[in-house]
């Protein structure tokens, strides 16, 4: 199960950069689990789950990380592909309510004043959390990484109606 594109939209994430090319890209949070070294029975079980549910049980082991990788890669692809269709740098479509909601979740709307900048900020938060979590043995940094992920998802919840193309 080789996926040469696994890093195209995840290249900012430290944990994804450290994956071997043949690692199962669906099991990103469990990069320690080498797909090629799995037993045939376990590999068949994962393939069966993937066909039946669209994902495997390994994706639920660290759901916060799985969701972060999903959000990061999908925002990157949205900005890349959708940015050719929609002008995410247009500043005219923001209401005062949107600005207030973004400020309530900790976004400085003077710095992040258009969709592209806010979506980029979400990716920055996820990159920082990923690097802290992947390189740290300190439980306090793991807690801080989780807080950064929570902030990223709160911002995304505000921006969700604008995540289209």
DSSP secondary structure letters along 28-80: GGGTTS-GGGS-HHHHHHHHHHHHHHSS-GGGGTTHHHHHHHHHHHHHHHIII
For residues 6 and 83, the model is more confident at 83
Which segment of 30-34, 55-59, 84-88, 99-103 scores lowest on mean pLDDT? 30-34
pLDDT at 28 over 60: no
Q: Tell me the average pLDDT across 20-43.
A: 58
Helical packing angle, 63-77 and 115-135, nearest 10°: 140
Q: Tell me the average pLDDT across 122-133.
A: 91
For residues 115 and 25, the model is more confident at 115
For residues 144 and 91, the model is more confident at 144
User: Buried b vs exposed e over 11-43: b needs ≥16 C-beta within 10 Å?
Assistant: ebbebbeebeeebbbbbbbbbeeebeeeeeeee
Tell me the C-alpha distance between 129 and 150, whole Å.
Answer: 10
Percent of the chain residues topping a pLDDT of 90: 45
């Amino acid at each position: 199960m080789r996926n040469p594109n696994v890093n195209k939209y995840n290249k900012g994430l430290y944990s994804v950069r450290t994956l071997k090319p043949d690692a199962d890209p669906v099991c990103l949070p469990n990069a320690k689990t080498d797909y090629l070294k799995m037993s045939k029975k376990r590999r068949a079980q994962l393939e069966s789950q993937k066909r039946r549910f669209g994902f495997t049980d390994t994706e639920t082991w660290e759901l916060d990380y799985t969701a972060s990788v999903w959000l990061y890669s999908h925002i990157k692809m949205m900005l890349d592909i959708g940015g050719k269709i929609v002008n995410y740098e247009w500043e005219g479509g923001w209401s005062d309510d949107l600005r207030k909601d973004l400020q309530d979740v900790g976004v400085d709307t003077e710095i992040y004043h258009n969709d592209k900048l806010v979506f980029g900020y979400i990716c920055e938060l996820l990159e920082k959390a990923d690097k802290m979590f992947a390189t740290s043995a300190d439980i306090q940094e793991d807690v801080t990484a989780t807080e950064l992920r929570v902030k990223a998802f709160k911002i995304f919840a505000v921006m969700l109606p604008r995540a289209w193309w």
